[in-house]
Chain A
């Protein structure tokens, strides 16, 4: 079962690479906001997967939940910033 979690963790990490590329390259602000939100989703999943790898999912689920809630707040505030700037 550990192999499944390990493969899922590595696959999720690889899935985060295109988002990172979009945050680095992304010409517009919208690209960066959406890519950042995508990376946040990947990180929340990664936390749970690392917890499952170490058979201590109960602790890591808390991190994932707190991180994801705050990630949502961050994305909303970024969207508000972009709106104030008039699109940029």
Chain B
């Protein structure tokens, strides 16, 4: 990953994250979340994870914005509930603890793009070698997702369809 692109993106993402915490208007929060997801998608594309970037761009930046806006239509966007100091201190402590654990775990991750790391030596080479002749699909991730794991993907789609139908049945009435 190029240091200029990665550094600029990281600075922008941190600034957006701080703004997301500080902002009090719900419409602004929704807009900032959409921009944040878009930049995360660019970061994932820069890291080479094209499919994750695609999902993040479509679901994170677009669909969830539409869903949040559908929610905002039913409530007052300027409604602000301030938590008490004790609840805010507890939230800060919880977030700090999770952040510490995550930063602590970074040490155990293999270096970025290391071909000798454990996940890339297990079954990945077999899939990379055989995917094209097995499935005739040039993209390995698509081959795994839509061919080797096709039943999993099919049932996942069924679950999402069922959930969407249940949501429409429960919430679809005009208030």
A residues sitting closer than 8 Å to B (CB atoms) are 6, 9-10, 13-14, 16-17, 20, 23-24, 26, 29, 32-33, 35-36, 39-40, 43, 46-47, 50-51, 53-54, 56, 59-60, 62-63, 66-67, 70-71, 73-74, 77-78, 81, 84, 88
What are the residues of chain B within 8 A of A84 when measuring CB–CB? 73
The one of B4, B34, B41, B42 in contact with A36, judged by C-beta atoms closer than 8 angstroms, is B34
Q: B46 at interface (Cβ–Cβ under 8 A)?
A: yes
Report whether B5 and A13 are in contact in the complex, using a CB–CB cutoff of 8 Å.
yes
Q: A29-B27, A74-B62, A77-B66 are in contact. Are A67 and B57 (CB under 8 A)?
A: yes
Report whether A32 and B65 are in contact in the complex, using a CB–CB cutoff of 8 Å.
no
The one of A29, A33, A50 in contact with B46, judged by C-beta atoms closer than 8 angstroms, is A50
Q: Which residues of chain B in 18-58 are interfacial with respect to chain A, using CB atoms and an 8 Å cutoff? A: 19, 23, 27-28, 31-32, 34-35, 38-39, 41-42, 45-46, 48, 50, 53-54, 57-58
Pull 8 A–B residue pairs with CB atoms less than 8 Å apart, ordered by A: A16-B12, A43-B38, A47-B57, A59-B139, A62-B54, A63-B57, A70-B58, A77-B69
B residues sitting closer than 8 Å to A (CB atoms) are 2, 4-5, 8-9, 12, 15-16, 19, 23, 27-28, 31-32, 34-35, 38-39, 41-42, 45-46, 48, 50, 53-54, 57-58, 61-63, 65-66, 69, 72-73, 139
Q: Interface majority SS on B: helix, strand, loop or mixed?
A: helix
What are the residues of chain B within 8 A of A47 when measuring CB–CB? 41-42, 45, 53, 57
**With contacts defined as CB atoms under 8 Å apart, how many contacts are there between chain A and chain B in the complex?**
107
Looking at the assembled complex, report how far the CB atom of B175 sits from the nearest CB atom of chain A, in whole angstroms: 14
Q: A24-B16, A63-B53 are in contact. Are A74 and B34 (CB under 8 A)?
A: yes
The one of A10, A74, A81 in contact with B72, judged by C-beta atoms closer than 8 angstroms, is A81
What are the residues of chain A within 8 A of B66 when measuring CB–CB? 73-74, 77
Looking at the assembled complex, report how far the CB atom of A7 sits from the nearest CB atom of chain B, in whole angstroms: 9
Looking at the assembled complex, report how far the CB atom of B50 sits from the nearest CB atom of chain A, in whole angstroms: 5
Looking at the assembled complex, report how far the CB atom of A52 sits from the nearest CB atom of chain B, in whole angstroms: 12
What are the residues of chain B within 8 A of A29 when measuring CB–CB? 27
**CB-nearest residue of chain A relative to B69?**
A81
The one of B4, B69, B139 in contact with A78, judged by C-beta atoms closer than 8 angstroms, is B69
Looking at the assembled complex, report how far the CB atom of A71 sits from the nearest CB atom of chain B, in whole angstroms: 6
**CB-nearest residue of chain B relative to A59?**
B50
Q: A6-B2, A24-B16, A66-B58 are in contact. Are A36 and B35 (CB under 8 A)?
A: yes
A59 to B139, CA, bound (A): 9
